[in-house]
Amino acid sequence: MLLNLLKSALMGLVQGITEWLPVSSGGHLLILNALLPLKGITEDFWNLYDVVIQLGSILAVVVLYFRQLNPFALSKSSAEKRDTWTLWFKIIVSVIPSGLIGIVFNDWIEAHLNGAVTVAIALIVYGVVFLLLDRLEGGRHARQINSVQGITYQTAFLIGCFQVLALIPGTSRSGSTIIGALLLGLGRTAAVEFSFFMAIPTMAGASLLKCAKFIMNGGSMTGGEAVILAVGFIVAFGVSLLAIRALVNYIRTHSFRVFGIYRVALGAAVLALAAAGIL
């Protein structure tokens, strides 16, 4: 039990960092669970755990951006409250594409694409895309959209279409949405913040879907499993508070080049581990 708790804390640490960096939290958890699996748990519980601990990360966004996302804040003027509601409507529009596609194809994707090779290829491909974007960004001195308030409904929907790509394991939800936002003319900070906000309904919906499937499949959770889940959730929340601040500060003065390099290197390592039969 103690070993499982330590592993869950490690997974929460990895989740809290990688959920916000464009490097694929799902891919990292898949690799970590292959190398250091939780012992004595069912596949149904792992599928539930894999998504629910991400709610810890999402809670960190709510805490850090509570005033900006709260349309009922007493300190806001009427105009600011209207702007906040408008932002939420745009967030909802942005998650429609991945929500619809995810509901229809989630089971098929889990059955056919949830493997090490798929993760490795996605890591490498999107790593290369980030490197290419870094080169393109060097020649772009002005952005059309420098704050989330400037995002139109059309742009929000199109960013949401990029999020559909994240249904493929190893792609990275934040990575796909940030790439889409940059291509659509957002500045780095606006792209990252809108990606954060999109995560709230996206991951809440995914967690509800996983919980429903877990219950409908007759799944039950032991007291030990509940503690394991709670540890991962709490650690993911605490680490996310730090990771979000760090990423926002970093991208103000740096490009995404380092993440592109990391993805390519990690993808190559995953391919090597898969070829060796370790993954």
pLDDT value at position 137?
A: 64
* Residue 181 amino acid letter: A
Specify the DSSP class assigned to residue 40.
T
Q: Which carries the bigger pLDDT value, residue 43 or residue 87?
A: 87
Rounded Cα gap, residues 138 and 200, in angstroms: 31
User: Which tokens belong to 48?
Assistant: 């539930």
Asked if 23 contacts 49 with a C-beta cutoff of 8 angstroms, the reply is no
| pLDDT(126) > 60 | yes
Cα angle 173, 175, 176 (rounded to 5 degrees) comes to 70
pLDDT tens, position by position, 131-154:
998 777 654 545 578 899 999 999
User: For the residues 84-106, what does the mean pLDDT come to?
Assistant: 93
Alpha-carbon span 94 to 196, nearest angstrom: 12
Distance CA 151, CA 36 (A): 42
Least confident of 42-56, 62-76, 167-181, 227-241: 42-56
pLDDT tier for residue 61 given thresholds of 50, 70 and 90: very high
Written as six digits, the tokens of 255 are 């490009």
Nearest CA to 163 out of 179, 183, 147 is that of 179
Can you give the pLDDT at residue 178? 94
Per-residue pLDDT tens over the stretch 223-272: 888 999 999 999 999 999 999 999 999 998 888 999 999 999 999 999 99
Report d(CA 255, CA 234) in Å as an integer.
30
Residues 94, 100, 102, CA angle at the centre, nearest 5°?
A: 100
Residues 49-70: what's their mean pLDDT?
Answer: 91
What value does the mean pLDDT of the chain take?
Answer: 90
Counted residue by residue, the chain has a size of 279
User: Are 64 and 237 a contacting pair, CB within 8 Å?
Assistant: no
Closest CA relative to residue 69, chosen from 187, 246, 205, 201: 201
**Higher-confidence residue: 275 or 89?**
89
pLDDT at 138: 54
Encoding tokens for residue 265?
Answer: 């290197």
| Cα 234 to chain centroid, rounded | 17
Q: What pLDDT, on the 0 to 100 scale, is given for residue 141? A: 46
CA 105 → CA 108, 181, 215, 261, distances in Å? 5, 24, 20, 30
Q: On the CB side of 194, how many CA atoms lie within 13 Å of its CA?
A: 40
pLDDT digits (tens, 9 = 90+) for 14-40: 999 999 999 988 788 878 888 888 888
Alpha-carbon span 240 to 250, nearest angstrom: 15
Q: Is 106 exposed, middle or buried (0-12, 13-18, 19+ CB in 10 A)?
A: middle
Lowest mean pLDDT among 50-64, 96-110, 130-144: 130-144
47 against 65, higher pLDDT:
65
Q: Are 24 and 172 in contact (CB under 8 A)?
A: yes
pLDDT at 14: 95
Which residue, 247, 173, 175, 239, is CA-closest to 206? 173
User: In the numeric block, which tokens belong to residue 44?
Assistant: 């149904």
Query: How many whole angstroms separate alpha carbon 4 and alpha carbon 169?
Result: 24
- The tens digit of pLDDT for each residue in 178-235 reads 999 999 999 999 999 999 999 999 988 888 877 887 888 777 788 888 999 999 999 9
